[in-house]
A = this chain, B = another copy of it.
Amino acid sequence: MDNTVDRLKQMVARLKELGHRMTPQRLAILEILAESKEHPSAEMVYEQLKERFPTMSPATVYKNISLLKETGEALELGFADGSNRYDGNKPYPHPHLICLACGSIIDPDLTSFQELTRHLTETTGYEISTYRIDFFGLCPTCQINGSKGRRA
C-alpha cells in the first residue's frame, strides 16, 4: 500500500513515454501487477478483472503482459507445468521462495547470491545477463496444516 502506488505511476509513465495508450483495462492490469505481492498468474489477473470488466478477454491480459515483459516492467516466472507467474513490483531478477502446498511465492532476503554470478563469469567465461533462483518447499503455515496441493 506504499511503494506500490509509486510503482504504478512509474509503470504508467514508462508506457506513455514509449508511446502506448492508457485504457481502463490496461491500467487495471498494471494496478494488479504493480502490487503483485502474490506474484499472480495471467489467469489470476484475468479472473480478478472480469468482475470489473465483464467483457474482459484473456487475450487482452496476455497482450498487456507481453508488452510489460518486452519493456522490462514485469518479470516472468515460468514453471515446468507450463504455468507462469508475474512480478510487476520487482521486475528485475531476484530469488523466490515457493510453497509447494499453497502455491504462495515470497521474496526472501538474500544478498550473497550476487557473488555467485561474478564467480560464474570468472570460471566459465559466460556473459551472464540474468538468472533465476527459486527454492521450493513448505511455508510455515502449510507445515502446520499438512501439505495438500502440489506444484512443479
Binding site for B on A (CB under 8 A): 76-82, 84, 95, 97, 99-100, 106, 108-110, 112-113, 115-117, 119-120, 123-140, 143, 152
Q: Is the CB of A78 within 8 A of B76?
A: no
**Cβ 8 A contact of A152, one of B76, B80, B136, B138:** B76
Instruction: Tell me if A's interface is mostly helix, strand, loop or mixed.
Output: mixed
Q: Is the CB of B130 within 8 A of A137?
A: yes
Count of chain copies:
2
Contacts of A79 in B (CB 8 A): 78
In the complex, what's the smallest C-beta–C-beta distance from A121 to chain B, in angstroms? Answer: 8
In the complex, what's the smallest C-beta–C-beta distance from A108 to chain B, in angstroms? Answer: 5
Contacts of A135 in B (CB 8 A): 116-117, 120, 126, 128, 130-131
**Bound Cα distance from A104 to B143, whole angstroms:** 38
Q: Is the CB of A123 within 8 A of B108?
A: yes
